[in-house]
């Protein structure tokens, strides 16, 4: 796709600390990119002495794999994210303030820098981030080798939809583009409601070819093989740490009314993993200039390993069961993750 297919519209903002929001579109996707000003930013530094008690490497595969290198066999070892406590009522009141600026994978820490820089428009997240940073600098003695990328997403979640539609997947998957392998991604997340679902079961993936097969669709299939029986969810407002082998998926709002949700992720990626995807936010509190590029999994033209399986398990959410794009505004296609019983989480897959 050529550069000419990219649409951009810059809308000035009167929000404190925010100069404008750029609305960017390409290949049918839309992004809101905030343009922050540079005054009054928050600088956060780790206080490891404030970190909560944490599991040892023997007790948690996630802790064991911090600063390990990508290894597909790790998917065969089930793992639950590490629980890091919940935001208290006062913290939650600040965290959930409405009109939060949406941000996608913006670096708030660069390698060889031990401070985290947060534009002041994101001040409501400083408390949750401080708790995360305290843990990171306790668990990962190699934190200097990493970027920390921040994603904030706050919005109304309509009934029978997900906040962030996706198949079962992991964050920080290393496909054919990443040889030699990088250190493992590990990510901290918290949401006030609709906590993410994790699948604490072994996944057999070594027979797939990373140049041909979509691993996330195979994760869908293996979760469906167990009818989601290994599903685990943290509590609302619970901070957790997952790694790039924790298979997960957002959960649907099954209530009849919209739910307002605030979700935060801080992802740690080694220095080679520059998140230069067009649509990611820029942090003006750091001096860096990455050429941003279009990057989508669709461009890889991967296919399902199980070609004759339920088609809902191997199409993108914005496609119908034949792989054709859904009309704008249509409910997204959801994977049927329970083969033997009608799935309470997939009532619309047939209609998609
Ligand atoms: Fe994810």
Q: How far is the CA of 163 from the centre of ligand 1 (A)?
A: 11
* pLDDT exceeds 80 at position 283: yes
Q: How far is the CA of 40 from the centre of ligand 1 (A)?
A: 31
Q: What pLDDT band is residue 352 in, cutting at 50, 70 and 90?
A: very low
Q: How far is the CA of 114 from the centre of ligand 1 (A)?
A: 25
Cβ(315)–Cβ(321) under 8 Å? yes
Q: How far is the CA of 168 from the centre of ligand 1 (A)?
A: 8
Q: How far is the CA of 69 from the centre of ligand 1 (A)?
A: 19
Cα 326-351-296 angle, rounded to 5 deg: 35
Q: How far is the CA of 12 from the centre of ligand 1 (A)?
A: 30
Distance CA(146)–CA(33), nearest Å, equals 23
Q: How far is the CA of 242 from the centre of ligand 1 (A)?
A: 10
Q: What is the pLDDT of residues 45-98, one digit of tens each?
A: 999 999 999 999 999 999 999 999 999 999 999 999 999 999 999 999 999 999
Burial 178-204 (b: 16+ CB within 10 A, else e): eeeebbbbbbbbbbbbbbbbbbebebe
* pLDDT exceeds 60 at position 154: yes
Distance CA(245)–CA(170), nearest Å, equals 6
Distance CA(92)–CA(99), nearest Å, equals 15
Q: How far is the CA of 92 from the centre of ligand 1 (A)?
A: 22
> Per-domain residue ranges for the chain?
3-351
Cβ(214)–Cβ(304) under 8 Å? yes
The closest of 93, 99, 189, 193 to 149, measured between CA atoms, is: 189
Q: How far is the CA of 51 from the centre of ligand 1 (A)?
A: 24
Q: How far is the CA of 249 from the centre of ligand 1 (A)?
A: 6
Q: How far is the CA of 14 from the centre of ligand 1 (A)?
A: 31
Q: What pLDDT band is residue 267 in, cutting at 50, 70 and 90?
A: very high
Cβ(21)–Cβ(13) under 8 Å? yes
Classified as helix, coil or strand, 128 is helix
Q: How far is the CA of 78 from the centre of ligand 1 (A)?
A: 17
Q: How far is the CA of 264 from the centre of ligand 1 (A)?
A: 11
Q: How far is the CA of 231 from the centre of ligand 1 (A)?
A: 15
Average pLDDT over residues 13-26: 92
Q: Considering the chain, what is the average pLDDT of its residues?
A: 92
Q: How far is the CA of 308 from the centre of ligand 1 (A)?
A: 26
Classified as helix, coil or strand, 323 is coil
Q: How far is the CA of 153 from the centre of ligand 1 (A)?
A: 12
| Runs of H (alpha helix) within the chain | 61-65, 89-95, 126-139, 215-225
What is the separation, in whole angstroms, between the first and last Cα of the chain?
26
Q: What pLDDT band is residue 298 in, cutting at 50, 70 and 90?
A: confident
Distance CA(115)–CA(45), nearest Å, equals 5
The first and second tokens of residue 306, run together, are 């199980």
Q: How far is the CA of 73 from the centre of ligand 1 (A)?
A: 20
Residue % of the chain over a pLDDT of 70: 95
Distance CA(108)–CA(266), nearest Å, equals 9
Q: How far is the CA of 171 from the centre of ligand 1 (A)?
A: 5
């Amino acid at each position: 796709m050529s550069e000419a297919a990219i649409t951009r519209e810059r809308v000035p903002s009167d929000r404190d600390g925010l100069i404008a929001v750029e609305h960017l579109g390409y290949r049918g996707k839309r992004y809101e990119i905030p343009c922050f000003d540079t005054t009054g930013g928050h600088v956060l530094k780790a206080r490891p002495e404030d970190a909560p008690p944490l599991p040892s490497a023997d007790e948690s595969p996630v802790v064991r794999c911090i600063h390990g290198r990508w290894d597909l066999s790790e998917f065969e070892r089930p793992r639950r994210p590490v629980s890091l406590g919940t935001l208290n009522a006062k913290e939650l009141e600040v965290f959930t303030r409405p009109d939060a600026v949406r941000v996608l994978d913006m670096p708030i820490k660069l390698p060889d820098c031990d401070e985290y820089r947060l534009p002041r428009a994101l001040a409501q997240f400083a408390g949750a981030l401080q708790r995360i940073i305290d843990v990171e600098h306790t668990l990962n003695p190699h934190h200097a080798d990493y970027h920390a990328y921040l994603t904030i997403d706050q919005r109304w979640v309509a009934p029978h939809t997900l906040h962030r539609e996706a198949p079962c997947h992991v964050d920080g998957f290393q496909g054919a583009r990443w040889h030699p392998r990088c250190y493992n991604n590990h990510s901290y997340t918290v949401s006030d409601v609709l906590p993410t679902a994790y699948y604490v079961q072994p996944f057999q993936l070594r027979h797939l070819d990373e140049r041909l097969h979509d691993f996330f669709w195979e994760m869908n299939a293996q979760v469906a093989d167990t009818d989601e029986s290994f599903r685990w969810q943290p509590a609302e407002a619970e901070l957790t740490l997952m790694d790039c082998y924790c298979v997960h998926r957002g959960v649907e709002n099954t209530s009849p009314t919209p739910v307002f949700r605030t979700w935060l992720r801080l992802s740690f990626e080694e220095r080679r993993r520059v998140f230069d995807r067009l649509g990611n936010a820029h942090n003006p509190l750091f001096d860096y200039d990455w050429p941003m590029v279009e990057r989508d999994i669709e461009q890889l033209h991967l296919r399902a390993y199980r070609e004759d399986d339920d088609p809902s398990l191997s199409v993108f959410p914005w496609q119908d069961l034949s792989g054709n794009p859904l009309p704008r505004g249509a409910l997204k296609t959801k994977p049927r993750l329970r083969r033997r019983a009608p799935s309470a989480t997939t009532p619309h897959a047939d209609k998609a």
